[in-house]
Amino acid sequence: MFNTGLTNRKIKCFIFVILFFGISMIAFINIQTSKDIVCNFFLRTISNTNQSQWRKNRLVIVPAVHNEIDWHKPTTWPQWLRDGLDLFNNSLSRPYDVYLYQRLDPYSKSPFNWPYCKNVHEEAGVYLKFIYDFYYDLPDKMLFVHAKPQQHSLYPIEAAQCIRDDVYYASVNNIWFGKRPWIAANPDPIDNITLMYKCAKRILSFFGIDGEAQLNPTDLKQKDMSIYSTMCCAQFYVRKERIHHYTYEQWSAAYNASLEPYCTSPLDRERPGLPGVKSFGSSFEFLWHIILGLEAPDMPEPRAKTTSDLCHLFRSSCFGSLCNAMVNGIRRSSA
Ligand SMILES: *[C@@H]1O[C@H](CO)[C@@H](O)[C@H](O)[C@H]1NC(C)=O
Ligand SMILES: *[C@@H]1O[C@H](CO)[C@@H](O)[C@H](O)[C@H]1NC(C)=O
Ligand SMILES: *[C@@H]1O[C@H](CO)[C@@H](O)[C@H](O)[C@H]1NC(C)=O
Ligand SMILES: *[C@@H]1O[C@H](CO)[C@@H](O)[C@H](O)[C@H]1NC(C)=O
């Protein structure tokens, strides 16, 4: 045993010496070449990590889909969805790409072999996950939509393709939610303030916004009687620069909170996928125009020939532009 050990050590030592001298010789003789190889390797690594996985200037649609489509039968998926997926359409010149999450199988086994996003907080859960996943490599332009985008708008997919290049955030919906108080069915028994208002305040704090000052600018005593007005239902176009208006830490704080079982109190605990309290998702729905649009909570109602005219955001002759909605009249919905 002792002898064998000694022999093995001798052999190892011999190989080591040969290798050491071999590598040193190559390095010394070819010092310039070696340097080039090493430099090129690092340069390539750096430029590769820099390269975006998205096509330049291509709109990327991120839909919040749960079981609104038959995952087993992709051929039955709606046309707008199939048009943006390589699975169906690998035309390089297609007008948009779709990034599809599934919310059913954490292991992404077939037929759910798409990236997984937990089924929490309706669409907000997906939107936050996408921003969290891709913060450092976002597409130039994004459209966040529900699984049935046409429910809230005439032509949401087309509208997003009509948005002017100087616009960083725009709703693609044409339903107006005007002058709604935050007050909702479920108050916190400790202070009688609606949990949705409290959740909204907490969400704004992740982005460095003073929720009280922002949501209740006139200092109403009953805080949750303060008002918001906005286009309905959280379907919007946004450019990456506007998402980068906030830091990765700020978005991760919001994303992390989306994974917690409740927003402010066990009373607003959500049962994912089931009916019931939805403070987090509902609050976000009425905060996107503040966070990403940098608008006041109580936005002015769109009016022709004023700066609130939606036509400022769209190329007017483009099919799907909400300029037409201005002509036809925005649909109003009261609380
Ligand atoms: C690569 O990334 C760095 C740091 O984010 C950035 O300054 C630089 O402009 C990028 N280069 C290219 C070619 O995108
Ligand atoms: C791909 O999508 C574009 C845009 O919707 C459409 O015009 C085109 O016909 C599609 N191509 C195929 C092969 O489905
Ligand atoms: C909450 O409102 C109810 C009904 O208006 C009232 O009876 C109760 O005293 C209030 N509680 C607090 C803590 O203000
Ligand atoms: C979010 O959660 C991750 C994982 O628990 C943690 O590492 C990170 O610090 C959290 N970020 C923020 C901003 O809270």
Ligand 2 geometric centre to CA of 319 (Å) = 17
- Mutation choice for ligand 4 from 248, 252, 258, 259, CB with most ligand atoms inside 8 A: 252
Q: pLDDT tens-digit profile of 275-287?
A: 777 889 999 999 9
| pLDDT reported for residue 6 | 45
- Mutation choice for ligand 4 from 203, 250, 256, CB with most ligand atoms inside 8 A: 256
Largest Cα separation within the chain, whole Å, is: 96
User: For residue 60, is pLDDT > 50?
Assistant: yes
Could you tell me which of 232, 301, 267, 270 has the C-alpha nearest to residue 121? 270
Q: What is the mean pLDDT of the chain?
A: 88
Ligand 1 geometric centre to CA of 47 (Å) = 8
| pLDDT reported for residue 166 | 97
Ligand 3 geometric centre to CA of 192 (Å) = 6
Distance CA 113, CA 105 (A): 9
Specify burial of residue 94 (Cβ count, 10 A radius: 0-12, 13-18, 19+).
middle
Using a 6 Å CB cutoff, which residues line ligand 3? 191-192
Ligand 4 geometric centre to CA of 255 (Å) = 9
Q: pLDDT tens-digit profile of 4-52?
A: 444 566 666 566 666 766 665 555 555 555 555 555 555 555 556 678 9
